Chains A and B, each alone.
Chain A
């Protein structure tokens, strides 16, 4: 204590001209306020991330943009700047636009299906039922297991089972479809719904394995959300005589809607950056083919598409999100 007071006095005497000493003075000027100290502690906690971004991630980003705009000569290791050439050329690469559109299409198909499915399962698993613990364990298994290497293997399996190149496991039939288009068409014919819906439903059923596999994290997030709804609201509903259906739409759905936003964003990111996405697979083939620069250019364009879709999805979903007043 005494030391710092002396130091402070000493600095004040010669403070007039030197800016460095002025700074020192501000540092040693007694104890900073609690707020300032808290802010300083906050910086210490996020320091790894700040350093990681500034020293590693940002240079990587800049390098990546630059590499996408230059031609690399592997033989004599020279790099020449070519501007937006790779970006323009990408459109004339065969299969580029098709792959992007296929990626988008998959997204439009998957996101609603995954969200509805995971919400449904989360609601069912949230209530008491026979064997709930076991079902939970099974449902979250794909989160842990079916990523990376297994995902690729499963995708390869799906292709080979269509061409009959798997072991006979009793699931193969002639059409390799769980339900046939014809059955559904007959079912929907009398209902006067469009052909798009028919294809959607057929795709949905035939892709049920993928949809279940990609819903793990979303289910967890929904379960967490459901757990946080106060049981007293449900009690009040019951006393007022609401049915389960009404309770779901009037209580559960609004209360869970912030989670729907989170999940929609997560699903979009996950669906876009998955290695089995057609666009990602296309970019991967470009990399493996050795055209690094143009592949990087393509993935930058792809990132822009992802960002755009995210903004659109977030805007659509957040328009019906209900926020309970907290704090």
Chain B
């Protein structure tokens, strides 16, 4: 009777092979598997899935290919109907013109500094606020969440004019319609000719909005952080409290290290959305070219050395130049994304963004 008893031949963490009487040989089992319809359906479905995903990927990636292809074309290729996607005469003229005439590297440095500062501040502030809303019970807790949602809904063009006025002569808590002085005026109003501080063409408008958690898309970041912290078990903090750790120490030493994947996700969002932002950049950096802070928005223009009014394919060519500028703007982001994309998915998956 011993022979009918199954014998374990090999056992590992997630695999087990068993020998028992009447077990078919590997070859026979493979044949059975091939003959069964179940396997075939599975194979067909996964192939179809793969083709579909490939198709969607193509739709996403094709514009990049076409932009990159155009960026290496010499001018005569652009209008040549026989040239499609692969340039006949390779040329870097568009790139060099954008770098030199459009001061790409200046824009790069300015935007890098601003995006880094904003993203760091926004991530940290979103962390603070999200933690405060999700883990503490206090009066007005729900109201604050509602205000966060409202800041997401109000289209930014609604506040455009008011923001322009506010940051050309900045004062804290100053309302224009009432003639009441703001806080800064109370402190500094004795200076002759006081009209508020002009913050246009500085980083300050971005930083002030970021610190207050009311900048571009900050509502979304706060919401994401709140959802994340909701999923963190309370027991974790409670045990820290029992061990004698204070609220803020617990936050810094227990909660923050825990939320690094989510913070990377938000940092990635904040950084890249600030990087390609047009609205706030055009609003706060204004004036003539020599006056304003040079940013990525200013790179998208036709370099003066490439302007040729007699060229027949001018419209197409200018389009290609603008697309090249676009590629140059997002290239750093794509490189960053390649390194960080696994954190993006991880952060979201672990976030328990539910409910």
A interface residue numbers (CB < 8 A to B):
35, 37-46, 48-57, 59-64, 66-67, 79, 121, 124-125, 129-131, 133, 135-145, 147-154, 156-157, 160, 165-171, 208-209, 212-213, 220-221, 223-225, 227-228, 258-259, 262, 266, 269, 272-273, 275, 280, 283-284, 287, 292-293, 295-296, 299-300, 302-303, 306-307, 310, 323, 326
Contact = CB atoms under 8 A, between A and B. Distances in A.
A150 B152 contact: no
Closest 5 CB pairs of A and B: A52-B212, A42-B136, A45-B132, A148-B276, A39-B138
Contact of B319 (A64, A160, A295): A160
Interface of B: 46, 49-50, 52-53, 56-57, 59-63, 65-66, 69-70, 73, 77-78, 80-81, 83-85, 125, 128-129, 131-133, 135-139, 141, 144, 147-148, 151-163, 165-166, 172-177, 183, 208-209, 211-214, 220, 222, 247-248, 251, 268-269, 272-273, 275-279, 296-297, 300, 315-316, 319-320, 322-323, 326, 329-330, 333-334, 337-338, 341-342, 344-345, 348-349, 351-355
Contact of B155 (A66, A165, A166, A273): A273
Contacts of B162: 60-61, 63-64, 67, 296
Given A144-B337, A223-B349, A150 B157 contact: no
> Which applies to chain A's interface (DSSP): helix, strand, loop or mixed?
helix
Contact of A169 (B69, B208, B334): B69
Given A41-B247, A46-B128, A223 B348 contact: yes
Contacts of B133: 46
A46 B319 contact: no
B129 A63 contact: no
Given A46-B129, A140-B341, A269 B277 contact: no
Nearest to B318: A165
B353 A139 contact: no
Contacts of B84: 167-170
A154 to B, nearest CB: 7
A224 B322 contact: no
A56 B175 contact: no
Given A63-B162, A165-B316, A302-B158, 10 more contacts: A49-B144, A53-B151, A59-B175, A138-B60, A153-B300, A157-B319, A167-B83, A220-B345, A224-B348, A224-B353
